[in-house]
Structure 1
Amino acid sequence: MTTQEHDASVYETVQESSEFQELKRRFRAWTFPMTVAFLVWYLLYVVMSGWARGFMATKLLGDINVGLIFGLLQFVSTFLIAWAYARHADRKLDPIADKLRHEVEEKTK
């Protein structure tokens, strides 16, 4: 068996392992719902901007209106999602990924 074939079999073995499957499950369980939630939130902003102009033009404080607040909240939500993902990855994904990486490194030496 060549080194390349050996490396491929190691990666295939890891990919079939229950730990790797758990890593994928945890990743998908967080990212898919969060992606859907963000897209719904973003599309709500776009739809409201196009079809609820009166509501979006409602002044809240001086010249600051609902549309401006919604727009700024898009940035806030993006940063909050990035922070939440980093926290999730640090707690739930990285320990498994690190263990798998060490196993692969040991087997491919």
Structure 2
Amino acid sequence: MPASAERYLEVQRSEEFAQLRHRLRRYIFPTTVAFIVWYSLYVLLSAYARDFMAIKVVGNINVALIFGVLQFVSTFFIAWHYSRYAATKLDPLADEIYNELENGPSAEPAATATDGGKA
């Protein structure tokens, strides 16, 4: 049985959904800020600290090349870490919300409705 628009709004107002949003935001916002700062540092150093970025570390490998490669490494690390975070903190709660939405209200309200009908 498909859920109605009213049911979606009820789920959106639920404590579980608020918790899911909180967990997502608690991860996304700091991670995004950290990555933007890290990327901006790379860009600013490339533009204004050319002598520093040109320092050769090993052979023809300089600081700029290392920072550039670390941009890719940090991107892959963030993606990997997010997938682990989502699998442990977000997906179980999202699945619970989805199952409740698809299968109707939980047993507690149904028991209350049945008890109310008997009295």
| Structure 2 partner of 1:91 | 88
Q: How does 1:1-109 map to 2 (within 5 A)?
A: 7-107=4-104
Aligned positions, number = 105
How far apart are residue 89 of structure 1 and its match?
0.3
Query: Which amino acid counterpart does residue 77 of structure 1 have in structure 2?
Result: S
Tell me by how many angstroms 1:107 deviates. Answer: 2.5
Quick one: percent identity of the two aligned structures? 55
Structure 2 CA distance for aligned equivalents of residues 60 and 95 of structure 1: 46
Q: CA deviation digits over 1:7-60, x for unaligned, max 9?
A: 101100100000000000000000000000000000000000000000000000
One-letter identity of the residue aligned with 2:64: G
1:15 is aligned with what amino acid? Q
Structure 2: 5+ residue runs without aligned partners? Answer: 106-119
| Structure with max Cα Rg | 2
Distance in structure 1 (CA, Å) of the matches to 2:47 and 2:18 = 43
Q: TM-score, normalised by structure 1?
A: 0.92
The root-mean-square deviation of aligned C-alpha atoms, in Å, is 1.6
Per-residue deviation, residues 48-100 of structure 1 (Å, max 9, x unmatched): 00000000000000000000000000000000000000000001000100000
Quote the Cα distance in structure 2 between the aligned partners of 1:7 and 1:53: 59
TM-score, normalised by the number of residues in structure 2: 0.85
